[in-house]
Amino acid sequence: MNVMADTRPLDVLADFPAIHPGWHYLDTAATSQKPQAVIDAIARAYGETYATVHRGVYQRSADMTLAYEAARKRVARFIGAEGREIVFVRGATEAINLVARCWAGEQLKAGDRILLSTLEHHSNIVPWQMVAERIGAAIDIVALTDDGRIDLDAMAAMITPQHKMVALAQVSNVLGSVLDARRAADIAHLVGAKILLDGCQAVPRMPVDVRALDCDFYVFSGHKLYGPTGIGVLWGRYDLLDAMPPYQGGGSMIDRVSFAKTTYAPPPGRFEAGTPHIVGALGLHAAIDYVESTGLDRIHAHEAALVEATRERLGQINSVRLFGPEDSAGIVSFAVEGVHPHDVATILDESQVAIRAGHHCAQPLMDALGVPATARASFGVYNSLADVEALASGIERVTRIFG
């Protein structure tokens, strides 16, 4: 493959002011850079249109309330949901904690079981451990296939009616492996379990329809979707949300407060205590508009081409070990023999190539791979094959330095 050819579906690099000429940003799985459209939306929201929501009777507050709720409806359309099923949270981590506490913490009992996989992010492990320890539930782990996918045949063989919750990543943040999410949901539902999907790495890269996936809960973070930090989404089936108690107490989540008894608002307000991240929601709206105007199918095809080129190019370097499947979604993890990933990343930074190095908040996966850490290159809509060549050239320099 001619790695100097540019396969970007659109020339969008100019939309991202943080990416300067000669700097190769390959850490989108950690956080995406922001297009100017999102930056402008945030500036307007904090500037000439700013006001609080849901409280003021003056016109600007009413206008901001309409904009905030329009963002909720935009998110709902983006994932095939209804507005009343969309809860704004700080990020996917808070969304998973909310479900673990307010659904699992209320519905599970001693002896029930939770099913996770080997490749989960810590945010999709620790909340379940906390609730399991508190109520006396147990956690089981689905192993991976040889190429780093969640082994759904193994899942089908091990799941039982005692399993009440299944929580899986739709796309691995380390390996980029894509889950057959609908099959996973079908397996979970056969025994009456609910399933939560971590969509952090999926929604920036592929179309998502929660109805078609037939999941029960879906979570993602705005900052990985070219939006701002501090805003994320919990989607849940409305009947499940309506049966869950509040996550926090405070303003906005109430129906009526008295010292004798407090009653709570219906979802999603019940789970949005206090003044929300108004500007974050508006920034997320702009990010979704940007992604959909670019085209998720085109983004996915673009990133698939970059992954193919990266695996081909790095595969030519004898000391490089690649992890994950050949068709990973926008993410390539690797190791250089005899060189710690942190040293790889440091030397690459000298060549203006920015990658992630470490355990990627997935220490159980590192144990399964038999390494303490990996180096990870992850792509976004702004990357090109020039970035792939810069990465490969930088790794060749690493091998020369370390002999």
Pairwise CA distance, residues 370 & 366, whole Å: 6
Q: Tell me which amino acid residue 41 is.
A: A
Q: Which residues pair with 159 in a beta bridge?
A: none
Helices in 295-357 by DSSP H: which ranges? 296-314, 341-350
Burial of 126 (0-12, 13-18, 19+ CB in 10 A): middle
Instruction: Answer left, alpha or beta for residue 80, where phi above 0 means left and psi between -120 and 50 means alpha.
Output: left
Phi, psi angle pair for 261, to nearest 5°:
-165, 145
CATH of 13-33+295-402, one of 3.40.630.30, 2.40.50.100, 3.90.1150.10, 2.60.34.10: 3.90.1150.10
Q: Which of 102, 200, 215, 361 is catalytic?
A: 361
Q: Determine the pLDDT at residue 277.
A: 97
CB 387 within 8 A of CB 369: no
Q: Determine the pLDDT at residue 11.
A: 82
Q: Determine the pLDDT at residue 5.
A: 39
Q: Rounded to an integer, what is the distance from CA 168 to the centroid of its chain?
A: 12
Q: Determine the pLDDT at residue 10.
A: 54
CATH 3.40.640.10 domain span(s) along the chain: 39-292
Q: Determine the pLDDT at residue 56.
A: 82
CATH 3.90.1150.10 domain span(s) along the chain: 13-33+295-402
Phi, psi angle pair for 321, to nearest 5°:
-110, 125
102 is catalytic: no
Q: For residue 251, which of 88, 45, 55, 50 has the smallest C-alpha distance?
A: 55
pLDDT averages per 10-residue partition of the chain, 403 residues: 43 94 97 98 97 92 97 98 98 98 98 98 98 98 97 98 98 98 98 98 98 98 98 98 96 92 95 97 98 95 96 96 96 97 98 97 97 98 96 97 89
CATH of 39-292, one of 1.20.59.10, 3.90.1300.10, 3.40.640.10, 3.40.50.1460: 3.40.640.10
Pairwise CA distance, residues 44 & 52, whole Å: 14
Report pLDDT digits (tens) over 303-352.
999 999 999 999 999 999 999 999 999 999 999 999 999 999 999 999 99
Q: Determine the pLDDT at residue 314.
A: 98
